[in-house]
Amino acid sequence: MNCFKITGYNFFIIISISFVINQGIPDLRYKQASALAGTKLYFFGGWFTTTTASPEVWYLDLSNSLNTTTLTWYNDATMPLGYIYGSACVSPIDNTTVYLIGGRMFNLNVQHFYYASEFSIFNSNASQSRAKWQYLNVNGNTNLFYKRDGMQAVFNNEKIFIYGGSNFSVDHPSLDQLFGDMNVLDTTTMLWLPLESSVYSSAAYTATLLPNGQIIYIGGLTNVSSGYAKMSEVQIFDTIFLNWFNKCVSGDSIGARLGHSAVLSHDKSIIIYGGSYGINNTQVFPDTAILNIKTWRWSTPNISQVNAPPPLTFHSATIYNNYMIIAFGLITNVENQTFSNKIYILDTQNYTWVTAISFNSSNLNRLSTENNFMRIEAYILIGIIVFIY
Sketch the domain layout of the chain as residue ranges: 1-5+15-98+119-140, 143-248, 251-358, 359-389
* Cβ neighbours for 286, distance < 8 A, ≥ 6 positions apart: 252, 254, 255, 300
Tell me which residue of 343, 252, 237 sits closest to 292, measured CA to CA. Answer: 252
Element (H, E) at 366: helix 361-388
Q: Answer yes or no: is pLDDT of 2 > 50.
A: no
The string of pLDDT tens digits covering residues 47-90 is 987 778 999 999 999 999 999 999 999 999 999 899 999 999 99
Task: State how far the Cα of 123 lies from the Cα of 126, in Å rounded to an integer.
Answer: 6
Domain 143-248 shares a fold with domain 251-358: yes
Mean pLDDT score of the chain: 85
Question: What DSSP string runs through 203-222?
Answer: ES-EEEE-TTSEEEEE--EE
CA distances from 255 to 158, 284, 287 (A): 35, 6, 9
User: pTM of the predicted model, to two decimals?
Assistant: 0.86
Phi (first) and psi of residue 134, to 5 degrees: -135, 130
Asked if residues 76 and 92 have their Cβ atoms less than 8 Å apart, the reply is no
Domain spanning 143-248, CATH architecture: 6 Propeller (2.120)
Residue 282 pLDDT > 80: yes
Lowest mean pLDDT: which of 30-44, 342-356, 373-387?
A: 373-387
Q: Write the pLDDT tens digit of every residue in 132-159.
A: 999 876 655 555 677 899 999 999 999 9
* pLDDT (tens digit per residue) in 39-58: 999 999 999 877 789 999 99
Q: What is the 3-state secondary structure (H, E, C) of 159-200?
A: EEEEEEEEECCCCCHHHCEEEEEEEEEECCCCEEEEECCCCC
Segment 229-246 shows an average pLDDT of 97
153 by Cβ neighbours in 10 Å (0-12 / 13-18 / 19+) ranks as buried
Q: What is the mean pLDDT of residues 354-379?
A: 58
Dihedrals phi, psi of 210, to nearest 5 degrees: -90, 160
Contact 26, 56 (CB under 8 A): yes
CATH of domain 251-358: 2.120.10.80
Strand partners, 244: 237
Q: 3-state DSSP call for residue 11? A: helix
